[in-house]
Structure 1
Amino acid sequence: MAQIQLRTRKSPHRAALHGVHSLDSFVFTVPDLDEAERFYDAFGLAPRREGARLDLYTESHPHAWGSLYQAPGVKKLQYLRFACFAEDFDAIAARIERLGVPRCAPHPLGDDSGLWVQHPEGYPVQIVVAAKSAPDDRSELATEPRPPTGTGASLNRARIPKVHPRRLSHILLFCAQVPEALRFYEEALGLRVTDRSGDHIVFMHGVHGSDHHLIAMAKSAGPGLHHLSWDVANIDEVGRGMEQMLAAGHVRGWGVGRHVLGSNYFHYVRDPWGSYCEYSCDMDYVPGDFDWAAGDHPPEDSFYAWGPRVPEDFITNFEIEPAKA
């Protein structure tokens, strides 16, 4: 397995831009950690138990993308941690102070490193100095060689390997106060809008290079987690991922299809708590030295280019609404 180097210093051509470079980690609670471990293992991640915590890894990357803890009740987003380069931290902290962004105590599930501030929707956000986990280039598409003539049937279901995502691509959050959250991410953390559809959905990228979006926000009645998106090697792995989750009993979801904003191929698998994990490939990339012209797109022409009909409850925030059978 190739070693992946995590960049710890910013590129010279972005020296004047002081913003976070990665979503370093997400933290949420679920009612059953054993069930969570089974789900993410079936999805193709490499979950690891650390005491009362479940950390989510991918097999080909050293970074821990997020952590889950067990707590009664519905699944609940607890906090987000963003990472910046060391030479950007003081400038980000000074900007936060100048803007009057409220500070907050470290989350009980977190630590006291870096800077803790309060998101406009009330949950904590941590900013730390850490290596860049967001990609420095567009994800490479892996192509399989064509089988020799007469051997096409060698690709049968019994021998299809399990799909293992390569890294976290992005997170989509529910948000009641989209304009306020947008200002927080843009003015305080230094993210930039890539594309949007009014205040219904907003996609944001990092100024030091990231996928089309490393976070997105969808309008809802309150905060929450809609989905985690994981990068895979090609559209065949998107389809194979769908099949492996169907075989594991996770039959609710959406896809296979292709998005308009971001351009990625997708399949969403509904998790046991009403949110989703997405297999994603070939997403647009925003280089650190490129100024992307943000667009505002009509809702009817900005969601997906092709695919099956969207489930009626696909944009339902089950952290604040009761789940339906």
Structure 2
Amino acid sequence: MHANQGALPGEHPGRAKNPIIKVHDLAWLEFCKPDLMKAEAFAQAFGFSVAYRTSEEIHLRGTQVGTPCVIIRRGTRTRFVSAAFLAADESDVVKLGKVTGHRVKRLHESIGGIGVTLHDRGGQPVRVVAGTHQLPQLPGQHTHTLNFGRPHARVNATQRPPREPARIERLGHVVLSRTRYLENLNWYLGHLGLIVSDFLYYDGQRQRGPVMSFIRCDRGDTPTDHHTLAMTLGPTDRYVHSAYQVRDLDALAAGGEFLADRGYRRSWGIGRHIQGSQIFDYWRDPDGFLVEHFSDGDMFDSSLEPGWAPMTASGLAQWGPPATRDFLGIAPGRQSLQELRSIFSSLREDNEFDAQRLRGLLKVANT
């Protein structure tokens, strides 16, 4: 076990017995934004490179070989559109389309390959793709020589990490909120073959089941990120944040100084998470979307069973500053007002977010 607690008898197993396919990775995220120039300016300061650009669309990439990390298209309003998952083979895309009754299509020539678009139980488009063009490796960020242990590797030389963008290496994960959390969780496990690394539950409500899961790809004996997708119960179906890997703590910290110097707003950081163990730093883009730099995350193979833990704000990090009101979504402002409206609306509807769950969520915010 990687956690202090495992499942109790009868609790969710964290995986489907016979999933339709097993996706290999998270490929990219798609957004709409009205101002592509503003979006690109932040993206480059955050550490992305532009792989493709037209007047209506930009593709943002990391330094590692693979697909773009983010696709942004011009739209009348800012919104998260979908997540695209990479299948191990084109035959898996065809199988998924056949089983679900959805048409497999050729993707745009800028991406290549084929894809099928499904919808999760929250109505969010979910794309599964394969055979895409592989963007070539780009030069990575400089790795510093560190004086850990003996003999010292750096002698008669100083350490001066420059304030420059933390070069994004790859897309790590996306976090989604769902009013029908368990229904959506089971959909992703059953359709995409994802498996749960950790469950969180509200203190005093474990008997009602989990309210958050950190979910990874199942590659058998090959280790993969602790979570490629995280899902939480909430009063609305929405994007929460996405995370992008950088080289190390120096890249993350110096990159944060670069962002701050240009007037961008940190939401929470720097610290180290508990579930996943990543060193993290969260920022708000100009449209208010939450994005994360991370480094040194856990890698699990398929042999580990899910851990179980109570959800608390103080339990989000091993070290670092306390979780901010902005990160928790309770800072005064337009976003918290929208969340409050969503709470009242959700309590009037038939879903998993009821009055008892609201009390559990408020308890989390107060810890």
Band of TM-score, shorter chain: 0.7 to 0.9
- In structure 2, how many angstroms separate the alpha carbons of the residues matched to 1:212 and 1:51? 37
Seen in structure 2, the aligned counterparts of structure 1 residues 283 and 65 have a Cα distance that, compared at 3 Å, is same
Question: 1:11 corresponds to which residue?
Answer: none
2:251 to 234, 237, 252: 237
Question: 2:307 corresponds to which residue?
Answer: 295
Deviation at 1:42, TM superposition (A): 0.5
Seen in structure 2, the aligned counterparts of structure 1 residues 111 and 120 have a Cα distance that, compared at 3 Å, is farther
2:216 to 205, 210, 216: 205
User: Could you report, residue by residue, the CA deviation over 1:203-253 in whole angstroms, capped at 9, with x for unpaired residues?
Assistant: 111112421111111332222222221111111222112111111111332
Q: If you compute each CA radius of gyration, which structure gives the higher value, 1 or 2?
A: 2
- In structure 1, how many angstroms separate the alpha carbons of the residues matched to 2:336 and 2:270? 28
Question: Equivalent residue of 1:297, what SS?
Answer: strand
1:57 to 29, 36, 61: 61
Structure 2 segments unaligned to the other structure (5+ residues): 1-18, 135-141, 148-152, 202-209, 341-367
Contact 1:119 1:125 (C-alpha < 8 Å) held by counterparts: yes
- In structure 1, how many angstroms separate the alpha carbons of the residues matched to 2:113 and 2:278? 37
Deviation at 1:28, TM superposition (A): 1.3
Question: 2:7 corresponds to which residue?
Answer: none
Question: 2:359 corresponds to which residue?
Answer: none
RMSD of aligned Cα (Å): 3.4
User: Percent of pairs identical after alignment?
Assistant: 24
Question: Equivalent residue of 2:83, what SS?
Answer: strand
Matches within 5 A, 1:1-325: 18-47=21-50, 48-73=52-77, 75-84=78-87, 85-93=89-97, 96=100, 103=102, 113-130=114-131, 142-146=143-147, 148-149=154-155, 151-152=157-158, 155=160, 159-198=162-201, 199-208=210-219, 209-287=223-301, 290-300=302-312, 302-316=315-329, 322=338
TM-score by length of 2: 0.69
User: Could you report, residue by residue, the CA deviation over 1:233-275 in whole angstroms, capped at 9, with x for unpaired residues?
Assistant: 1112221121111111113321000000001111011112222
Question: 1:136 corresponds to which residue?
Answer: none
- In structure 2, how many angstroms separate the alpha carbons of the residues matched to 1:298 and 1:279? 25
- In structure 2, how many angstroms separate the alpha carbons of the residues matched to 1:43 and 1:70? 20
- In structure 2, how many angstroms separate the alpha carbons of the residues matched to 1:131 and 1:205? 21
- In structure 2, how many angstroms separate the alpha carbons of the residues matched to 1:323 and 1:299? 19
User: Could you report, residue by residue, the CA deviation over 1:46-82 in whole angstroms, capped at 9, with x for unpaired residues?
Assistant: 1342330111111343421121122233x21112222
Deviation at 1:143, TM superposition (A): 5.0
Contact 2:90 2:114 (C-alpha < 8 Å) held by counterparts: no
- In structure 2, how many angstroms separate the alpha carbons of the residues matched to 1:235 and 1:49? 31
Amino acid at match of 1:243: E
Deviation at 1:93, TM superposition (A): 4.1
- In structure 1, how many angstroms separate the alpha carbons of the residues matched to 2:218 and 2:255? 31
Contact 2:271 2:320 (C-alpha < 8 Å) held by counterparts: yes
- In structure 2, how many angstroms separate the alpha carbons of the residues matched to 1:259 and 1:284? 10
TM-score by length of 1: 0.78
Question: Equivalent residue of 1:314, what SS?
Answer: helix
Q: Tell which deviates more after alignment, 272-281 or 313-322.
A: 313-322
Structure 1 segments unaligned to the other structure (5+ residues): 1-15, 98-102, 134-140
User: Could you report, residue by residue, the CA deviation over 1:78-116 in whole angstroms, capped at 9, with x for unpaired residues?
Assistant: 12222212343354445546xxxxx5998xx99994322
Seen in structure 2, the aligned counterparts of structure 1 residues 319 and 309 have a Cα distance that, compared at 3 Å, is closer
